[in-house]
Amino acid sequence: MAIDIGKLDTFPKLLMHHARERASRPAIREKDLGIWQTRTWHEFAEEVRALACGLGGIGVTRGEHFALVSDNRPRLYAMMYAVQCLGGIPVPLYQDAVATEMAFPIQNAEIRFAFAEDQEQVDKLLEIMPQCPTLKHVVYDDPRGLRHYRQPALASYEDLLAKGRESLRRDPAFLETEIAKGRGSDTAAMLFTSGTTATPKGVALTHHALIDRAKVAAEMEDLGDRDVVLAYLPPAWVGQFIFSLAQPLVTGYCICCPESPETVMTDMREIGPTYYFAPPRVLEALLTQVSIRMEDASRLKRWLYRRFMAVAERAGGAILDGRPVSTLDRLLYFLGDIFIYGPLRNVLGMSRVRVAYTAGEAIGPDLFKFYRSIGINLKQLYGSTETSVFVCIQPDGQVKADTAGPPVPGVELKFTPERELLIRSPGLFKEYYKNPQATSEAKDAEGWFHTGDAGYFDPDGHLKIIDRVKDVGRLADGTLFAPKYLENKLKFFPYIKEAVCFGDGRDRVCAFINMDPDAVGNWAEKRNMPYSGYTDLASRDEVYDLVRDCIERVNRDLATEPEIANSQIHRFLILHKELDADDGELTRTRKVRRRFIGERFDALVAALYAGKDAVHVTAQVKYEDGRTGTFSADLKIRDARTFPPAAARKAA
Amino acid sequence: MSEVVLSVEGVSLSFGGVKALQDVSFDVRSKEVRAIIGPNGAGKSSMLNVLNGVYHPQKGRIRFKDRTFADMDSHEAAALGIARTFQNIALFKGMSVLDNIMTGRNLKMRCNILQQALWLGPAKREELEHRRAVEEIIDFLEIQHIRRTPVGRLPYGLQKRVELGRALAAEPELLLLDEPMAGMNLEEKQDMCRFVLDVNDHFGTTLVLIEHDMGVVMDISDRVVVLDYGRKIADGVPDEIKSDQRVIDAYLGVAH
């Protein structure tokens, strides 16, 4: 149960509260020298208090920004709390950022103080010091390799702590006053948005916003001081910040820091977290590992795995949701839990997981259902840095693969006519630091935050995000056309690597498909289908049938969603080449550049809409050595079956 | 300038008619990184083998920490605080990283086999103490993730790191590294360089290393000895060595 906040309106006040209330309970653990070392709330708060006095001694003042570059370590968190004790504002930075990327936040917030985990981070900070004249003090944790550094800016954590202990003993009242001065409306932290497209923006979040959201979510999931979390994602990311700084303070649960990024899997098994977060790519990597290891297992084990996973697929999700399941399936699932699911959860380190979240990007329904079917309560949520994460969460029993769930208490949502999602919530950010223009663009006078995400509510009132608002168009009949949503649905099939959908301003949707050469090649081999290369394989009728089948399944899905039922894919072709970042067709982060592709292959788009069943293509190709050549082929165009909205609903 | 811990005085070594080393003299100062370089067959590995007592020279003396030896015995060398790594990794392939590094503590174990087998008080305390030392090395070399992995399953670069770990476990005063970076890619070499320098800095270990990569040698060593056909042809700081005509000739060959 989350604690009653009352007068405890800042993180330092909450920390001192836990130090009194649950002094000997574990607050933070770290695996060091192969052993899990525990700090209790009392010990941890004592360290923070001394550290805060040390920081006061070197001149950290109220409202001061303090940069931190470190992996998840107890000392990182102690440092953040210590900064907050003095009314300062921690600014965690991504520890894998290159030096030049760190310069902007430090210049922007005129940062004077920084904390660095080790020599690597110290080197980066020293490198950018000439561009950042304000940066005067760097506190480092691990002294290894730093013995010969003579820069006056450097100070060790140990020294700071020792000096802080000294001054705490001399003047214990100083810190009490400083902590008492804190207000809930003060900025508690500033997190920089990644800013792939523009310069990063510093999102200022108040104690009140963070505490409110953390508490609401904790109450919803019934988190308490017996829960355990593994802190393994970058602390500069808002999710990790919430799970390992805000929520432990409203519930008193314990966070655990892995030994090193490479040992996360083993550490997780040892700790057995009860509350877990993972972005879809992590979940996918775990599943891949499981599949690979399963293929090497003995025949009996493989057979058991196949049989019981079929049972899990049928009954697992329903059992987790508390829906009715036949007695036979229940019995089989019980056996499966003994032989397969239980051991599997144990290998994944998820034996004790009560609540697991995923968010950040669209998750494939099969991937999502896999975890739920083996009894892991994986749920989706929606949120961003600007909203202190929690906007929507799927409550237990209302979990779906393709929504983000209903809004959590306190949040108001509405949509603009362009389908942009607007949010009003106590968790909203205070401002973009030193960027009033961006602030007023994102947050209007009535306090609505413009997310830039387009979506709608499904019939059960769950939020469904489909695309960025700037990419969403409309078909000629006014139906919403969200290309990324369709493309993602297509890409969840292993045979489809990329997809590009067209339809804005047109009467129907057509698509380019890029098949996945590995998956389709493998499929062809199993059928003894000879082929000479990518282009040859892509033009096979069998492959067209395979892809059409995928598209029709997507169409059937779309038919059940009234808002976008008309954006089913009518016609498609399989491209003769792989879309490539070198040709400008993808961004470096592998997102399709739809407009560019549409212009480059305008003849193909025209043929799709002209109703032809083949199109001749000549294209310039750039080889890897820089030479260019021409290529020509006939591409087939095929129709895909579409489904009337009402009929599909009946069938489903 | 720090004191000399090891000096080699007029060492000659031959195998039948092959003169591997002829009248080689040089010294190693405390806490320095000393490199031995030279073309193939110059006698570098032989020199290292003489230093830790694998080969016994026919002539010359070795002084280590104020004691003079006509030749060394490898047990004696280890007991005196000389540890080494090998050109072609010599680890126990079937044992875990942890156990391999633990073997490096062998000379420091005081309990007898009976005490250890019965897990008596002193044996337990000793084990804990050694385990801690080994864990510190694992932490130092950043190999926590492979602690329990059998060495045979590791890639080459990591095996080299484990071997360095085992040598460090003996807490040597003088560490001999035989081509620590051979066969590594650039990134692994950079990592290894950092570890070598960190070992030198953190533990204050004196290092003698053989290395082929000139970039690495010139970057990390304080002084360099150059051997060619078993003779010393140059000795000095990297900058002197780089411009030494005899060294250039030895590496590039001379017109006859």
Q: Which chain B positions have a beta carbon within 8 Å of A263's beta carbon? A: 144-145
Tell me if chain B has a CB within 8 Å of the CB of A145. Answer: yes
Residue A28 lies in a domain: yes
Whole-number mean pLDDT of chain A?
Answer: 91
Q: Which chain B positions have a beta carbon within 8 Å of A118's beta carbon? A: none
**Tens digit of each residue's pLDDT (9 = 90 or more) over A142-175:** 998 888 899 999 999 999 999 999 999 999 999 9
CB-CB neighbours of A145 under 10 Å:
17
Closest chain B residue to the Cα of A264, Cα to Cα: B145
CB-CB neighbours of A295 under 10 Å:
9
State residue A366's pLDDT score. 87
The answer to which of A197-206, A266-275, A415-424, A435-444 has the lowest mean pLDDT is A197-206
State residue A650's pLDDT score. 43
What CA–CA distance (Å, rounded) separates A431 from A390?
18
Residues of chain A numbered 34-53 and touching chain B (CB < 8 Å)? 34-35
State residue A100's pLDDT score. 86
Nearest to A144 among B131, B144, B198 (CB): B198
Residue A229 lies in a domain: no
Whole-number mean pLDDT of chain B?
Answer: 89
Whichever domain contains A531, its CATH number is: 3.30.300.30
Q: Which chain B positions have a beta carbon within 8 Å of A32's beta carbon? A: 139
Q: List C-alpha distances in Å: B32 to A219, B28, B173, B226.
A: 61, 7, 11, 17
Which H, E and C letters describe A395-417, residue by residue? Answer: CCCCCCCCCCECECCCCEEEECC
Name the pLDDT band for A196 (thresholds 50, 70, 90): low
State residue B256's pLDDT score. 64
Minimal CA–CA distance to B99: which of B44, B34, B151? B151
More confident residue, A585 or B176: B176
Give the pLDDT mean for A549-576.
Answer: 91
Helix orientation angle between A11-21 and A172-181, rounded to the nearest 10 degrees: 120
- Picking from A438, A471, A504, the residue at the C-terminal end of a domain is A471
Tell me if chain A has a CB within 8 Å of the CB of B138. Answer: yes
Tell me if chain B has a CB within 8 Å of the CB of A299. Answer: no
Give the pLDDT mean for B107-115.
Answer: 81
Say yes or no: A482 and A446 in one domain.
no
Say yes or no: A39 and A145 in one domain.
yes
Residue A6 lies in a domain: no
State residue A648's pLDDT score. 45
Q: Which residues contact A197 (CB under 8 A, 6 or more apart)?
A: none
State residue A646's pLDDT score. 59
Tokens representing A329? 């399936």
**Interchain contact, A33 vs B136, CB within 8 Å:** yes
Q: How far apart are the first and last CA of chain B?
A: 41
Name the pLDDT band for A542 (thresholds 50, 70, 90): very high
Whichever domain contains A457, its CATH number is: 2.30.38.10
Say yes or no: A459 and A477 in one domain.
no
Tokens representing A603? 């003849």
Say yes or no: A488 and A446 in one domain.
no
State residue A291's pLDDT score. 84
- Picking from A179, A205, A231, the residue at the C-terminal end of a domain is A205
Residue A502 lies in a domain: yes
Nearest to B145 among A32, A145, A260 (CB): A260
* DSSP string for residues in A40-102: EHHHHHHHHHHHHHHHHHTT--TT-EEEEE-SS-HHHHHHHHHHHHTT-EEEEE-TT--HHHH
Name the pLDDT band for B176 (thresholds 50, 70, 90): very high
Task: Report helix, strand or coil for B238.
Answer: helix
Nearest to A34 among B135, B140, B142 (CB): B135
Whichever domain contains A186, its CATH number is: 3.40.50.12780
Q: In what order do the strands lie in the sheet with A431-432?
A: A187-192, A202-206, A431-432
Say yes or no: A466 and A484 in one domain.
no
**Tens digit of each residue's pLDDT (9 = 90 or more) over B23-62:** 999 999 999 999 999 888 888 999 999 998 888 999 999 9
Helix orientation angle between A41-57 and A157-170, rounded to the nearest 10 degrees: 90
**Interchain contact, A144 vs B136, CB within 8 Å:** no
Evaluate if residue A565 carries a pLDDT over 80: yes
Say yes or no: A563 and A647 in one domain.
yes
Tell me if chain B has a CB within 8 Å of the CB of A185. Answer: no
State residue B1's pLDDT score. 63
Residue A391 lies in a domain: no
Domain that holds residue A145: 11-205
Evaluate if residue B83 carries a pLDDT over 70: yes
Q: Where are the alpha helices (DSSP H) in A280-384?
A: 280-295, 299-311, 317-321, 327-336, 342-348, 365-373
Give the pLDDT mean for A356-374.
Answer: 90
H or E element at residue A631: strand A628-639
Alpha carbon of B136: minimum distance to chain A alpha carbons (Å): 6
Instruction: Report all structural domains of chain B as residue ranges with CATH numbers, in order of start.
Output: 1-81+172-256 (3.40.50.300), 94-171 (no CATH)
List, as own/partner pairs, every contact residues A119-128 make where C-beta atoms lie below 8 angstroms and the sequence separation is at least 24, other chains included.
Answer: A119/A144, A119/A145, A119/A146, A121/A69, A121/A70, A121/A95, A122/A146, A122/A149, A122/A154, A123/A99, A124/A69, A124/A97, A124/A98, A124/A99, A125/A69, A125/A99, A126/A151, A126/A153, A127/A99, A128/A99, A128/A100, A128/A102, A128/A103
State residue A605's pLDDT score. 92
Q: In what order do the strands lie in the sheet with B67-69?
A: B18-29, B4-15, B59-64, B67-69
Evaluate if residue A621 carries a pLDDT over 80: no
Q: In the block, which residue shows the tokens 């019995």?
A: A331
Evaluate if residue A197 carries a pLDDT over 70: no
Task: Report helix, strand or coil for B143.
Answer: coil
Asked if residue A219 lies in contact with residue A408, where contact means CB atoms within 8 angstroms, the answer is no
Q: Where are the alpha helices (DSSP H) in A395-508?
A: 436-442, 483-491
Question: What is the number of domains present in chain A?
Answer: 3
Name the pLDDT band for A319 (thresholds 50, 70, 90): very high
Say yes or no: A465 and A447 in one domain.
yes
What CA–CA distance (Å, rounded) separates A115 from A155?
10
Tell me if chain A has a CB within 8 Å of the CB of B139. Answer: yes
**Interchain contact, B142 vs A260, CB within 8 Å:** yes
Give the pLDDT mean for A64-81.
Answer: 96
- Phi and psi at A112, nearest 5°, equal -100, -25
What CA–CA distance (Å, rounded) separates A84 from A86?
5
**Interchain contact, A145 vs B201, CB within 8 Å:** yes
Task: Please compute Rg for chain B using Cα positions.
Answer: 19
State residue A652's pLDDT score. 40
Asked if residue A113 lies in contact with residue A64, where contact means CB atoms within 8 angstroms, the answer is yes
Evaluate if residue A232 carries a pLDDT over 90: yes
H or E element at residue A32: strand A26-32
Give the pLDDT mean for A310-338.
Answer: 93
Q: In the block, which residue shows the tokens 């009518």?
A: A570
State residue A88's pLDDT score. 96
- Picking from A173, A205, A237, the residue at the C-terminal end of a domain is A205
Across A128-221, the runs of DSSP E, i.e. the strands, are: 137-140, 154-156, 187-192, 202-206
Name the pLDDT band for A364 (thresholds 50, 70, 90): confident
Give the pLDDT mean for A23-32.
Answer: 96
The answer to which of A155-164, A255-264, B65-74, B192-201 has the lowest mean pLDDT is B65-74
Name the pLDDT band for A479 (thresholds 50, 70, 90): confident
State residue A82's pLDDT score. 97
Say yes or no: A507 and A450 in one domain.
no
Q: Which residues pair with A205 in a beta bridge?
A: A189
Tokens representing A404? 């983000």
Say yes or no: A489 and A410 in one domain.
no
Query: Count of A–B CB contacts within 8 Å?
Result: 33
State residue A480's pLDDT score. 87
Apex A440 CA angle, A438 and A445, nearest 5: 165
Name the pLDDT band for A571 (thresholds 50, 70, 90): very high
Instruction: Taking the CA atoms of B144, B146, B151 and B157 in sequence, report the sign of the dihedral they define.
Output: negative
State residue A651's pLDDT score. 43
